Structure 1
Amino acid sequence: MRVFYDWSSKEWFSHTGATLGSNLLPLKSSDPETEQRSLSFSLTSNNHNAGPVIGILTGKGRDNTLAGNGPLFKALQKEILQNKGISFVFTSEDIKENSVSGYIYSPEDEKWIQACCPLPHLVYNRVPFRKLEQTDSFKEACHFFKELNIPFFNPGFLDKYEVCQLFMNHPPLRKYLPDTILVTDESELKNFLGKHRVIYLKPVQGAKGKGIYRLSHSDGRKLTMSGIKHSFSYRCFESFWKEWSLQLTGKAYLAQKAISPARLDGKRFDFRILAHFSKGEYRVTGIGIRQAQDQDITTHIPNGGILIPYEKVQTKEHDEFINMAVAEAGILLKKEKGFFGEFSMDAGLTHKGRYVIYELNAKPMCFDETSIELKRIQELTRLFFNMTGF
């Protein structure tokens, strides 16, 4: 079905008496003149309802412009268009009673076009900042779509410690979680460090390896606090706590036992795994390897890590662990936190060959492996169409 959007009148047209979007917006009859000056889309028809219309929920930055993963939004729009659907990007402030003021990407013109859009058949949550998910407008948007039974794809960011607690109470995954506590007071952290000798300190709501430190006993009572770029030494735990207590308790940090990692060519490596919901279960979409270089606190690319093809380390045992971990983690998330159509998992391997799960990410950034990112776009589009009945 051909559907047209007229920029000047901000109205939608078609050749047939059909509707558009989840609120069944009536499409006006088009004529050659209107079609000439309009954006044209070829959409699927489901009982004379054109779609699917996918709303990508994002947020605004400090300069009040749209924020978020632009390359992902563009790639999704291209794939959705090729499958005879359409997507638009919007913020929670853009929702009206029966319409949304959104932005449609035109691949032909290579630009974003502001449009008056119908209510979507599905909302894909890509709000880029945790603080935006705490705003009244975001919470009102969630309630708005829930009341209308519009699927909301990915409820929100994941709290690292909450995920750890879920794992602790889930036998199939419990053994893969390093010993972990929430940093709340001096004595508990001191005892935890005394027990493990080397620990990681991670912000509960952090991302991309930011704010991660390794704390270790370096010599007797002396402590070393190592970050990605800086290192600090303290004569005793008390002097360390005096300097760091406000940050560790104010921002919410967890402490986690440090593993002795397996190494490839002398440097540690981790698994970065992408997963999607498919045919009633969670399946692996792609696996990337991240290897540390100048520092081995994290393997993230922005912190100097490099890409290694999974095939270089792949074994039958790795495949079996990753498939199991993805399936179990997906089931657990769905049961306890709501429907997550996609997530990524960071996992590792000890020098003794034991698997470790570090964390889950509800809103994966783009994968640097082109093949994995391409499959991701295809999996998301497939999932959008299946969930909307198109």
Structure 2
Amino acid sequence: MKIYYDMVAAQWYQSEIEGIYTFGGEKKPISYNQADTDHLSFELGIKNNHLGPLIGIMTARKRNGAVTGNGPLFIELQKKLISHGGISFIFTSEGVYHDSIEGYTFLPSQEKWIKITAPYPNLVYNRIPFRKSEQAERSQRFFQILKDRKIPFFNPCFIDKYELYYLFKNHPILQKYLPKTILAAHKEDLFSFLQKHGTIYLKPAQSAKGKGIYRLKQIENNKICLQGLNKNENFPTFHSFWEHWEKELTMKNYLAQEEIDSAQFEGNRFDFRILVHAEQNDYQVTGIGIRQSYHQDLTTHVPLGGRLLPYGLLQTNEHDDFIQTIVKHAGRVLSDELGFFGEFSIDACVSHSGNYYLYEVNSKPMSFDETEIEDKKINQLCSLFYQIANF
């Protein structure tokens, strides 16, 4: 059925049939009026006199007030939804009111965003890009409103690296894939951990994209070597290292992780990047990419000097089995403990000796450079939208 939006009056209506039809997550009646060709129109699906789905994509504003987020992803989702009789809009917590939400919808025919006022959607897809924005009182209050009104949403939160380790370490299957990890909050614990492993990684518990990561080594005469992407420092003793770094390590909740002797391809180590989506009460792999260290060996992230390789180049049955195993179990643990995760990505690796390791899980996956994975991601997300929204 075709519905219209009057931009001046900020009202939705339909002109086809006089009767009670509903729209949005709270199934509010949509009024009947004569169509005005100057008004925006959208062709929506209909199920039991309910029109939709209407998908809300939650993002955030920058300090200057501009709406931010993954614009190309939002546009592709809107195009796909429209082609299947749905519609989406993006919004921030500042646009949320008691019975409506102010946001923006993309018009593919005009290649532009327009401001709209919409009812609460059938589903909210959380793509808030900043931890601070997501944890803000206004955002948390909105998530509670969604729960109270029984409007589904995913993904519920960013994932803290140490919280993830804590969730997985007691799982009968996932625990065997975890690198040894501790919080880097206490001098004695960190020193013992470094002595035991010789080389460790230091990672902020709430960072992403390889930011703030360091390698810490104990070298000859008990000297300490710290290697970062943009700095290398040497310290005569662990005590002197701790004096310089204690504040940074504790303020940013750093964790320490044993270094894994990763398998190599043509002389450089590589990791798996795995994109996952929920599907019919289970979790399926949407795509797998290989990220290889290249200009530096501290991290494999492409923006920091890593490079892409196709998974097919290194694919084995053992790799496939490991990936399928961690995908299903990780998805279930996250959703059981933190709230429904419809999408996430996993960073993992295989060691030189053939052991597998799960490094971290990302609840707001970055765009994959592989176009075939991104295309499949759009399809999987839209399929999930329809499934959850019950259309």
**TM-score relative to the length of structure 1:** 0.98
Instruction: Look up the match of 2:12.
Output: 12
Between the aligned partners of 2:336 and 2:97, the Cα distance in structure 1 is 32
SS of the residue 1:157 aligns to:
coil
Q: 1:30 Cα shift?
A: 3.7
| Correspondences of 1:1-390 after superposition (within 5 Å) | 1-14=1-14, 15-16=16-17, 17=19, 18-32=21-35, 34=36, 36-390=37-391
Q: 1:183 Cα shift?
A: 1.2
* 8 Å Cα contact 1:23-1:98 kept in structure 2: no
Amino acid of the structure 2 residue aligned with 1:4:
Y
* 8 Å Cα contact 1:223-1:233 kept in structure 2: yes
Q: 1:218 Cα shift?
A: 2.3
Tell me which moved more, 2-11 or 124-133: 2-11
Structure 1 runs of 4+ with >4 Å offset = none
* 8 Å Cα contact 2:348-2:357 kept in structure 1: yes
Between the aligned partners of 1:83 and 1:153, the Cα distance in structure 2 is 21
SS of the residue 2:387 aligns to:
helix
Between the aligned partners of 1:389 and 1:23, the Cα distance in structure 2 is 13
SS of the residue 1:274 aligns to:
strand
* 8 Å Cα contact 2:59-2:92 kept in structure 1: yes
Amino acid of the structure 2 residue aligned with 1:88:
F
| Cα displacement string for residues 283-331 of structure 1 (whole angstroms, at most 9, x for unaligned residues) | 1110000011111111001101111000000001100100011011011
* 8 Å Cα contact 1:95-1:101 kept in structure 2: yes
| Residue correspondences, number | 388
| Cα displacement string for residues 65-95 of structure 1 (whole angstroms, at most 9, x for unaligned residues) | 1111111111111111111111100111211
Between the aligned partners of 2:331 and 2:299, the Cα distance in structure 1 is 24
SS of the residue 1:339 aligns to:
coil
Q: 1:11 Cα shift?
A: 1.1
SS of the residue 1:9 aligns to:
coil
| Cα displacement string for residues 230-260 of structure 1 (whole angstroms, at most 9, x for unaligned residues) | 2111111011111100000111010000011
SS of the residue 2:68 aligns to:
coil
SS of the residue 1:142 aligns to:
helix
* 8 Å Cα contact 2:292-2:307 kept in structure 1: yes
Amino acid of the structure 1 residue aligned with 2:344:
F
Segments of 5+ residues of structure 1 without an aligned counterpart are: none
* 8 Å Cα contact 1:273-1:287 kept in structure 2: yes
Amino acid of the structure 1 residue aligned with 2:83:
Q
Between the aligned partners of 2:166 and 2:10, the Cα distance in structure 1 is 49
**TM-score relative to the length of structure 2:** 0.97
Q: 1:365 Cα shift?
A: 1.3
SS of the residue 2:173 aligns to:
helix
Q: How large is the RMSD of aligned CA atoms in angstroms?
A: 1.0
Amino acid of the structure 2 residue aligned with 1:2:
K
Q: 1:24 Cα shift?
A: 2.6
* 8 Å Cα contact 2:78-2:88 kept in structure 1: yes
Between the aligned partners of 1:38 and 1:315, the Cα distance in structure 2 is 55
Between the aligned partners of 2:167 and 2:30, the Cα distance in structure 1 is 47
Q: Identical aligned pairs, as a percentage?
A: 49
Amino acid of the structure 2 residue aligned with 1:195:
K
Amino acid of the structure 2 residue aligned with 1:10:
A
SS of the residue 1:239 aligns to:
helix
Amino acid of the structure 1 residue aligned with 2:71:
G
Between the aligned partners of 1:259 and 1:27, the Cα distance in structure 2 is 58
Q: 1:337 Cα shift?
A: 1.2
Between the aligned partners of 1:51 and 1:279, the Cα distance in structure 2 is 20
| Structure 1 pair 287–229 and aligned structure 2 pair: CA distance change class (3 A) | same
* 8 Å Cα contact 2:226-2:232 kept in structure 1: yes
* 8 Å Cα contact 1:87-1:104 kept in structure 2: yes
Amino acid of the structure 2 residue aligned with 1:287:
I
Between the aligned partners of 1:336 and 1:24, the Cα distance in structure 2 is 30
Between the aligned partners of 1:104 and 1:381, the Cα distance in structure 2 is 16
Q: 1:353 Cα shift?
A: 1.1
Amino acid of the structure 1 residue aligned with 2:7:
W
SS of the residue 2:177 aligns to:
coil
Amino acid of the structure 1 residue aligned with 2:70:
N
SS of the residue 2:61 aligns to:
coil
| Cα displacement string for residues 13-48 of structure 1 (whole angstroms, at most 9, x for unaligned residues) | 21223221122333233434x1x1111111111211
Q: 1:98 Cα shift?
A: 1.4
* 8 Å Cα contact 2:270-2:300 kept in structure 1: yes
SS of the residue 1:27 aligns to:
strand
